[in-house]
């Protein structure tokens, strides 16, 4: 469309999104949506690799669409859809499975982590997750994939699979590149900044959820761990706690990290943490209100999902049919 390059990303509608998801993914999408032909999916098929409560998955899926729009993703510019509405994802994933080695999947760190956390349900889907993600990206011939640092390994494998297929047959897939923020690709847990902030954190004080109310947000930031010394400077190696907070502040206050450092020069940690909490709460309040308003208009949301799935299916169908021809599936 418009000769623009294609950009693809997705989020799983599991648990509540954190400000890590916002900074690492959505805030970056907002900046990119004008310059690329964007597809933003809701990855419900990825979500079921861990057991989900069906009613909750359904409502979180719709809430995710409302959140995308409430954050500022423009449905007039971007194609938003639900992964399971476009069958080509599962179809291409099957073909790509035959170009992916079991050993490669066993080595994925996220698989190893999740297998350890869900030892009672180490299902094939959990292991196959990166192949489905490769199918997502490759179906749209996406050039760029804006994600957080934790998805880097999955993106590498998507590139490997694309190149492998292209080499065996002929150029079929665009080999995608990850777009990682220089600052913010890995927001740390507020209680242990060496760990990534996660939707499923054990300590709920470590993660700030996009659904948290103002008091909760401010309380969590007040309790955030800082570092020894008293200077508020960006130095991830020596001051991981303060640097993490400066990163969050810069994104939510719309400033550079240097400007953020200047704002807090000579100030104390207490004042700093309160200001970070306030900046986050100030941004979340209107997003939450808009998300609630959108959720009361289901017809509007369903309309976006319907046209999104139709458009996605057209694009994805073109790639899938090329792939089917190349591998030798008989066509009528």
Interface with ligand TYM (CB under 6 A), residue from 161, 187, 232, 245: 187
Q: Is 10 in the site for ligand TYM (CB under 6 A)?
A: yes
CA 238 to chain centre: 28
Instruction: Identify the active-site residue in 4, 60, 77, 114.
Output: 114
Q: Is 46 in the site for ligand TYM (CB under 6 A)?
A: yes
Q: Is 145 in the site for ligand TYM (CB under 6 A)?
A: yes
CA geometry: angle 220, 210, 146, nearest 5 deg: 115
Instruction: Identify the active-site residue in 60, 186, 196, 273.
Output: 196
| Chain residue at closest Cβ approach to ligand TYM | 24
254: left (phi over 0), alpha (psi -120 to 50) or beta: left
Q: Compute how many other C-beta atoms are within 10 angstroms of the C-beta atom of residue 176.
A: 22
CB 64, min distance to ligand TYM, A: 9
Determine how β-strand 6-11 pairs with β-strand 79-82. unpaired
Q: Is 178 in the site for ligand TYM (CB under 6 A)?
A: no
Q: Is 319 in the site for ligand TYM (CB under 6 A)?
A: no
Secondary structure of residue 85 in the 3-state scheme: helix
Please spell the DSSP secondary structure of 34-78, one letter per residue. Answer: TTSEEEEEE-HHHHTTS---HHHHHHHHHHHHHHHHHHT--TTTS
CB-based burial of residue 124 (10 Å sphere; 0-12 exposed, 13-18 middle, 19+ buried)? Answer: exposed
Contact between residue 239 and residue 233 where contact means Cβ atoms under 8 Å apart: yes
Whether 220 is catalytic is no
Interface with ligand TYM (CB under 6 A), residue from 43, 66, 245, 275: 43
> What number of CA atoms fall less than 13 Å from residue 140's CA on the CB side?
33
In the bound state with ligand TYM, the residue whose beta carbon lies nearer, of 82 and 323, is 82
Q: Is 8 in the site for ligand TYM (CB under 6 A)?
A: yes
Q: Tell me which residues in 188-207 interact with ligand TYM (CB under 6 A).
A: 196-197
Whether 112 is catalytic is no
Q: Tell me which residues in 100-139 interact with ligand TYM (CB under 6 A).
A: 133, 136-137
CB 108, min distance to ligand TYM, A: 11
In the bound state with ligand TYM, the residue whose beta carbon lies nearer, of 90 and 262, is 90
Contact between residue 180 and residue 151 where contact means Cβ atoms under 8 Å apart: no
CB 230, min distance to ligand TYM, A: 26
CB-based burial of residue 51 (10 Å sphere; 0-12 exposed, 13-18 middle, 19+ buried)? Answer: exposed
| Cα 152 from Cα 332, distance rounded (Å) | 40
Q: Tell me which residues in 68-107 interact with ligand TYM (CB under 6 A).
A: none
Q: Is 162 in the site for ligand TYM (CB under 6 A)?
A: no
Q: Is 63 in the site for ligand TYM (CB under 6 A)?
A: no
Contact between residue 201 and residue 189 where contact means Cβ atoms under 8 Å apart: yes
Closest by CA to 175, choosing from 163, 165, 186, is 163
Q: Is 224 in the site for ligand TYM (CB under 6 A)?
A: no
Q: Is 24 in the site for ligand TYM (CB under 6 A)?
A: yes
In the bound state with ligand TYM, the residue whose beta carbon lies nearer, of 60 and 273, is 60
Interface with ligand TYM (CB under 6 A), residue from 81, 126, 148, 250: 148
Q: Which residues, listed in sequence order, are joined to residue 121 by a DSSP beta bridge? A: none
Q: Is 247 in the site for ligand TYM (CB under 6 A)?
A: no
- Residues engaged in binding ligand TYM (CB under 6 A): 8-12, 20-21, 23-25, 43, 46, 133, 136-137, 145, 147-148, 150-151, 185-187, 196-197
Q: What residues are labeled active site?
A: 114, 196, 199
């Amino acid at each position: 469309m418009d000769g623009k390059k294609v950009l693809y990303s997705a989020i799983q509608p599991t648990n509540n999104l954190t400000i890590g998801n916002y900074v690492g993914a959505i805030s970056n999408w907002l900046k990119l949506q004008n310059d690329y032909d964007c597809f933003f999916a809701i990855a419900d098929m990825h979500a079921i690799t861990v057991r989900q409560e069906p009613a909750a998955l359904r409502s979180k899926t719709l809430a995710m669409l409302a959140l995308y729009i409430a954050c500022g993703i423009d449905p007039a510019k971007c194609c938003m859809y639900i992964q399971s509405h476009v069958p080509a994802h599962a179809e291409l994933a099957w073909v790509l499975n035959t170009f992916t080695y079991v050993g490669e999947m066993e080595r994925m760190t996220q698989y190893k982590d999740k297998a350890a956390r869900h030892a009672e349900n180490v299902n094939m889907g959990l292991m196959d997750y990166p192949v489905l993600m490769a199918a997502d990206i490759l179906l749209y011939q996406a050039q760029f994939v804006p994600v957080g640092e934790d998805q880097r390994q999955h993106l590498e494998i998507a590139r490997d699979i694309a190149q492998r297929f292209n080499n065996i047959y002929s150029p079929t897939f665009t080999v995608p590149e990850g777009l990682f923020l220089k600052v913010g690709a890995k927001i740390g847990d507020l209680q242990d900044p060496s760990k990534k902030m996660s939707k499923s954190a054990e300590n709920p004080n470590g993660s700030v959820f996009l659904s948290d109310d103002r008091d909760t947000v401010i309380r969590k930031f007040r309790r955030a761990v800082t570092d020894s010394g008293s200077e508020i400077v960006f130095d991830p190696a020596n001051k991981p706690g303060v640097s993490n907070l400066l990163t969050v502040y810069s994104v939510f206050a719309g400033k550079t990290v240097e400007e953020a450092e200047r704002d807090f020069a000579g100030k104390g940690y207490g004042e700093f943490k309160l200001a970070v909490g306030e900046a986050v709460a100030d941004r979340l309040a209107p997003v939450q209100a808009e998300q609630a308003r959108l959720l009361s208009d289901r017809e509007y949301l369903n309309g976006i999902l319907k046209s999104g799935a139709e458009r996605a299916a057209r694009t994805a169908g073109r790639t899938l049919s090329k792939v089917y021809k190349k591998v030798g599936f008989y066509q009528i």
